[in-house]
Amino acid sequence: MQPEIDQKQQQLLLDLAHDAIEHGLAYGAVKQINLADYPTELQPFKATFVTLTINGQLRGCIGMLQACRPLLEDIVHNAFAAAFSDPRFPPLTADELPQLEIHISILNPAEPMQFTSEADLISQLRPGIDGLILDEGDYRGTFLPSVWQSLAKPEDFLRQLKLKAGLSADHWSSNLQVQRYTTTCFPTDL
């Protein structure tokens, strides 16, 4: 297991995400970074999500479920995408930047869950700890562990995740697959 990211490194990553958004506002493109300019412990391939809020309200959230590039690059790309490419929101404006709060989630690898029924699955969920990935055929959705703050009951968490994936809230089948993952999130006030 890798060591936790310390506060100094967390601030560096938050600053990098902020710079990526400022660069996007100025140039309309993803900022290119030189990995050699950053600590090597922040360069392993990691999957991340960048969540943007204004006054506690979601303003964008984009991420990757599997590691496909170095942590630093993933944060730059996801910060840019959360600000300018989240289909739920218009692109971020310069006027919104001073109010913007940035939250980063670094995902640990997902693990498949084994369950025999919906009740069995619900009984295994760990509120506040688990992020979930739900798959069935062409339908897929994920909730980060931070979503437990607004959906505290495991039943509600699962129902809303099904809806997000494009399924009905009461959908159930033997083909449903669920994976769980944990995250390192900062700052922790999301």
Which of these, 47, 118, 100, lies nearest to 78 by C-alpha position? 47
Domain coordinates of the chain in residue numbers? 7-107, 111-182
Q: Which H/E stretch holds residue 66?
A: none
What is the C-alpha separation between 33 and 14, in angstroms, rounded? 15
CATH match for 7-107 among 3.90.870.10, 3.40.50.1110, 3.30.950.10, 3.30.700.20: 3.30.700.20
Q: Per-residue pLDDT tens for 147-170?
A: 999 999 999 999 999 999 999 999
Q: Per-residue pLDDT tens for 46-68?
A: 999 999 999 999 999 999 999 99
Q: Per-residue pLDDT tens for 7-31?
A: 999 999 999 999 999 999 999 999 9
What is the C-alpha separation between 190 and 186, in angstroms, rounded? 8
What CATH number labels 111-182? 3.30.1490.150
CA distances (Å), origin 69, targets 35, 82, 141, 151, 173:
11, 17, 21, 31, 34
Tell me the whole-structure pTM to 2 decimals: 0.91
pLDDT of 2 > 80? The answer is no
